Amino acid sequence: MDTDHADLDDLAALRAALDVDDGGESALGWDAVHAFEAEHGIVLPEPYRTFVAEVTDGCYSGPPDYGLVSLAELPDDWGAGRPARDLSKPFPLTESWIWDEDARPSEEIDPILEQVFDHGSIVLGTDGCGMYWHLVVTGPHRGHIWNISGEGAVPFGAGFGFTTGEPGFAGWVRHWAAGKPWFDAA
C-alpha cells in the first residue's frame, strides 16, 4: 500500500469497479483538492487523492451500501450537533477496539470515542445503522480504511484478521467489487 504515489493500475481498477467513465466531469479537480488539504492541514493518501481529483468526487454505484460521499461531505445519517471534526489531529487507533466490551468507565472512554469519530479521518460513507467507513488521513494508520460503528472500530485489510481484502482504499474497493462480504475472514 503506497499512500504517497498513485498507481495507474489502481486508478484504472477504481474507475472500472465504480463504473465511472464521465471523462473526469464528476472529479473535484486538483485546485479543489489542494484547497481542501490546505484548509485541513493534511495531505490525502493515494490513490484516494488522485481518485477524487481526476476520476470522481463521490458516486452512488460504489461502496459502501449508500455510496461514496464527496470529499467534503458527511453521510446524511451522520447527525447534527456533533463536535467539529479535526482532520489534522492523528487518528487515535492502530488496532481494533470494541468499546461495548471495554470495562473502563465512560469518563475514560468518551474522550477517546470522540477522537475515533472525529480526528484524523474522512468519512467515505455508510452502510446504514451507524456503520461508517473512514479513510485515515493522519496518524500511524494513514491510508487505512476503518469501519466505525456504535459498538467499536476495526481496520480493513487481511493483516488485521477480519477480511481477506488488501488494505487501503484500492483494496477496499476491489474487495467490494468482487462481491465479497466485508468481514469474510474465517
Cell of 159: 493483516
For the stretch 51-70, pLDDT in tens is: 999 999 988 877 888 889 99
- pLDDT score, position 76: 85
For the stretch 95-124, pLDDT in tens is: 999 998 999 999 999 999 999 999 999 999
Residues found in the chain: 186
How far, CA to CA in Å, does 141 sit from each of 35, 93, 121? 23, 8, 10
- Mean of pLDDT over the chain: 92
Cell of 103: 470495562
Residue 12 carries which side chain, given as an amino acid letter?
Answer: A
How far from the centroid of its chain's Cα atoms is residue 179's Cα? Answer: 19
Q: Check the CA dihedral 73-18-27-120 and report its sign.
A: positive
Listed by start position, the domains of the chain span 8-177
Mean pLDDT value of segment 6-22: 85
What CATH number does the domain located at 8-177 have?
A: 3.40.1580
Residues in contact with 5: Cβ distance below 8 Å, sequence separation at least 6, in sequence order: 46
pLDDT band at 128 (very low <50, low <70, confident <90, very high): confident
pLDDT band at 142 (very low <50, low <70, confident <90, very high): very high
pTM recorded for the entire structure: 0.94
Residues in contact with 97: Cβ distance below 8 Å, sequence separation at least 6, in sequence order: 116, 152, 153
- pLDDT score, position 69: 93
